Amino acid sequence: MVTGKSKWLFTMASLMILVISCALPARVFARTSAQSAELNVLYIEYPPYYASTPDSDIEGIIVDIVRRVFERAGVSCTYTGLPSKRVISKMQQGEAVASLGWFKTAERETFAKFSLPIYLNQPIGILMLREEAHRFSRYDSIKKLVDSRHFMVGRIDGHSDGEYLDSILVDHGDRTVWVAADEVRLIKMLKSRRFDYILLPPEELGVLTRNAGYPVEDFVLKPMSDIPHGNVRYIMYAKSIDDDLIKRIDDAIVAEIGILTPSP
């Protein structure tokens, strides 16, 4: 027999269970949704920042950084390697993708969104063959070098070297050899004298010359006085990516690496 007191206890217990069951799903859902976000991340073959490994993984300076960031943000990622022009094309078409380590430019902001900075390069220099270094000795700035019109520069089609360098080189298209390849191929073409120099941050030199099969001593990387600081790199998102997700990843960037700004 169920007494009045038992009914009261049973009713109270039922109410408590109902309250808890109503509260828990919202909390669990919030946690699950925060941890279940997925992102299709595109990358280009660009050591030492990102490069495919023999076991179908990727590695590199920026890969290590963003993996920590995405883990903190609760974002699981699928990584796909593509040429830079195809990455841009997918962004412009509005596919829900992100890509690693891009420079922010006014032109790219017309079709993409950007994270907070994730990496700050060392200042770019000009890379030349050692036996040709004497030809560059009189030039201490990239502007003087370009304006001399004595040299051909090799650049990768679809890449940016930052707004400052892009703005200097834009009016000298006849002195630029555009290459539909990666940086290793660019080094090989420099070695075979297809052009006179390329633009390169110091942290890329060792791995690129090694991957190209040449001793680093065969080259000289010369700093330029009018390139005082390194370029800032970002995660680039298609505009179809939700702003709340970008904000969540930005919060993780601040927590993992802080706010990066170029040195004056």
Q: What is the CATH number of the domain that holds 106?
A: 3.40.190.10
Span 17-45, pLDDT tens digits: 334 344 443 333 223 344 568 999 999 98
Range of the domain at 112: 36-121+231-257
Q: Are residues 82 and 155 in the same domain?
A: no
Structure tokens at 232: 């800032």
**Residue in 102, 107, 105 with CA at minimum distance from that of residue 87:** 102
More confident residue, 192 or 83: 192
Q: Please report whether residue 21 resides in a domain.
A: no
Q: Are residues 57 and 180 in the same domain?
A: no
Q: Give the integer Cα–Cα distance in Å for 185 and 161.
A: 17
24 contacts: CB under 8 Å, gap ≥ 6: none
Q: Please report whether residue 27 resides in a domain.
A: no
- HSE of 144, CA atoms in CB hemisphere, 13 A: 10
Q: Are residues 61 and 135 in the same domain?
A: no
Q: Are residues 140 and 213 in the same domain?
A: yes
Q: Are residues 78 and 93 in the same domain?
A: yes
Span 95-109, pLDDT tens digits: 999 999 999 989 999
Q: Give the integer Cα–Cα distance in Å for 71 and 200.
A: 31
Q: Please report whether residue 193 resides in a domain.
A: yes
Q: Are residues 168 and 244 in the same domain?
A: no
Q: Are residues 136 and 177 in the same domain?
A: yes
Q: What is the DSSP string of the chain?
A: ---HHHHHHHHHHHHHHHHHHHHHHHHHHHHHHHH-EEEEEEE--BTTTBEE-TTS-EESHHHHHHHHHHHHHTEEEEEEE--HHHHHHHHHTT-SEEEEEEPP-TTGGGTEEE-S--EEPPPPEEEEEGGGGGGGTT--SHHHHHHHT---EEEETT----HHHHHHHTT-GGGEEEESS-HHHHHHHHHTTSSSEEEE-HHHHHHHHHHHT--GGGEEEEE-TT--SPPEEEEEEETTS-HHHHHHHHHHHHHHH-------
In this predicted structure, what is the pLDDT of residue 41? 97
Q: For the chain, what is the domain count?
A: 2
Q: Are residues 67 and 107 in the same domain?
A: yes
Q: Are residues 149 and 84 in the same domain?
A: no
Q: Are residues 62 and 133 in the same domain?
A: no
Q: What does each C-alpha distance from 15 to 1, 29, 223 come to in angstroms? A: 22, 22, 73
The count of other CB atoms within 10 Å of the CB of residue 1 is 3
Segment 182-191 mean pLDDT: 94
Kindly indicate the confidence band of residue 8, based on its pLDDT and cuts at 50, 70 and 90: very low
Q: Please report whether residue 29 resides in a domain.
A: no
Q: Please report whether residue 5 resides in a domain.
A: no
Q: Are residues 73 and 110 in the same domain?
A: yes
Kindly indicate the confidence band of residue 13, based on its pLDDT and cuts at 50, 70 and 90: very low
Q: Please report whether residue 139 resides in a domain.
A: yes
Q: Please report whether residue 12 resides in a domain.
A: no
Q: Please report whether residue 74 resides in a domain.
A: yes
Q: Are residues 149 and 213 in the same domain?
A: yes
Q: What does each C-alpha distance from 32 to 25, 63, 70, 75 come to in angstroms? A: 10, 25, 15, 11
Span 207-240, pLDDT tens digits: 999 999 999 999 999 999 998 788 899 999 999 9
